[in-house]
Amino acid sequence: MKNILKLLRPRHWIKNLFIFAPPFFADRLFSIINIRLCLLTFIGFSLAASSIYILNDIRDYKNDIFHPEKKKRPIAAGIVNRTTALIISGVLAVIAIIIASMAGRLFLYFVILYMLIQIAYSLFIKEMAIGDIFSIASGFVIRVLAGTVAFDITPSKWLMLTMFMISTVLAVGKRFQEITLLNDNAHLHRKTSLKYSKELLNEYLMISSGASLIAYSMYTIEQLNMMVYTVPVVMFGLFRYLMVSKLGLGDPTEALTKDKVLAVTVIIWLVLVGIIIYTSKHGGIMAVIVQ
């Protein structure tokens, strides 16, 4: 059972919190009427993601043995056979689709779109330089879009652009991690590594992180409230992520779970944004403090 659970990569479900970005920023996340919807969307997307993780592991088990961490995964390590894993993946996909349909037809469409793109990624896109980065980033963006339709929210264009740019940063950081960990053996794990270099990926990181900071700054200005004061926190978080990605923690899940400074920074940002958004109806932070 323990090895089956590892197949699902539950630690990576943290990525599915992107679904809640639209309702969070729209001051609707904590509405009692949305609790059931929150559970359906998170569980549905998490199971869909796990089904794809398993398919990807089945596809890559020969290459994963060249990765110091991925070689420990159940399929690559030979602990779980591929037939069993394929059955589990199929069952998860069916359950995910059923749960997603309960969250709404449009949400279901985005879950299916996510699965199709990730299957295509596993089959051939991962061998396409740059295309693989955008495919990984699309997974985060689709989560956000799925959140908008599930909670019936029209998001800010600047917020959506911010999410796309941040997603690109995370995708590039993941590739940078592989190059850093594997060095000359990186191409044995992933062929596209031959087309990337640390210098090139570093330039991608600079461009995408700078663009994400600008997009977020424009979003805060658009809100016409104290959101602009959260920009320094976001900037610090980006700087910290860029630093840890150079140290081998480019994978967003590992960065958040293993780097305490980055994790605390994200929590501080969420608290600040939450206070600003959810007290604005009462006249803003200062009004709440005075009261």
% of the chain exceeding 90 in pLDDT: 42
Task: Please give the Cα distance from 244 to 265 (Å, whole number).
Answer: 13
**For position 5, what pLDDT does the model report?**
84
Q: Could you tell me the two tokens for 4?
A: 């089956």
4: Cα within 13 Å, side-chain hemisphere = 9
The tokens for 266 are 């994200």
pLDDT band at 220 (very low <50, low <70, confident <90, very high): very high
CA distance 139 to 82: 25
**Cβ-contact 15, 140 below 8 angstroms:** yes
Q: Show me where the domains of the chain are located.
A: 1-155, 157-291
For the ranges 105-109, 124-128, 152-156, 281-285, the lowest mean pLDDT is seen at 281-285
Residue 141: CA count within 13 A, CB half-sphere: 22
92-140 pLDDT tens trace: 999 999 999 999 999 999 999 999 999 999 888 888 888 888 998 899 9
Overall CATH class of domain 1-155: mainly alpha
* DSSP structural state of residue 92: H
